[in-house]
Amino acid sequence: MTLPIYLYGSEVLRKVAEPADLQDRDGILKLVSDMKETLAKAEGCGLAAPQVGVSSRVLIVDGRDMADVYPYLSDFVRVMINPVVTAESGRKCEYSEGCLSIPGIYCDVTRPDSVTVEYYDENFEKVTETFDKFACRMVQHEMSHLDGDMFVDHVAPVRKKIISRKLNAIAQGRISARYSTKLVK
């Protein structure tokens, strides 16, 4: 089922998400299925459970649509349940980021250029994986959502001031997107 994507200003996006209950496999798999469908419909490259109104530590990253720019993403899809960063590079890199919860806004954000993440996959097997390049960026962006954090929190103050009107408009529901959205304060 396609779910609405919660917009900037929605309370659920600013809460630290609860760990997913690994005993509720059916519930998690239903959420993952709905999130995959929602992500495909929205034509995004990542989605965290809080973005569909569920305060749970579940995310999906799918880089396949970006393979024309980043060929190494041609088969990159991950479902992460209860992900935890266990190591990160001291080196930083900057990429432009956007977000389905903040339609129409893109900003350069600096983050570590590689991270190691421990998580459960959709088969409920524990995985430890190191990510770099744009895959690392997608994973970090979605993991930030699980901590109530959004990419606009990491932009330079002058850039934040420049986009403040657009952010306020989104937070008031004055936005149109090509996918279903919802604003819940």
Catalytic residue IDs? 142
Residue 28, C-beta contacts closer than 8 angstroms, at least 6 positions apart: 20, 21, 22, 56, 58, 81
Radius of gyration of the chain (CA): 16
Asked if residue 126 lies in contact with residue 120, where contact means CB atoms within 8 angstroms, the answer is yes
In 3-state terms, what secondary structure has residue 130?
A: strand
Residue 51, C-beta contacts closer than 8 angstroms, at least 6 positions apart: 5, 6, 13, 100, 101, 145
CA 60 to CA 117: how far, in whole Å?
Answer: 14
Neighbours of 96 (CB within 10 A): 10
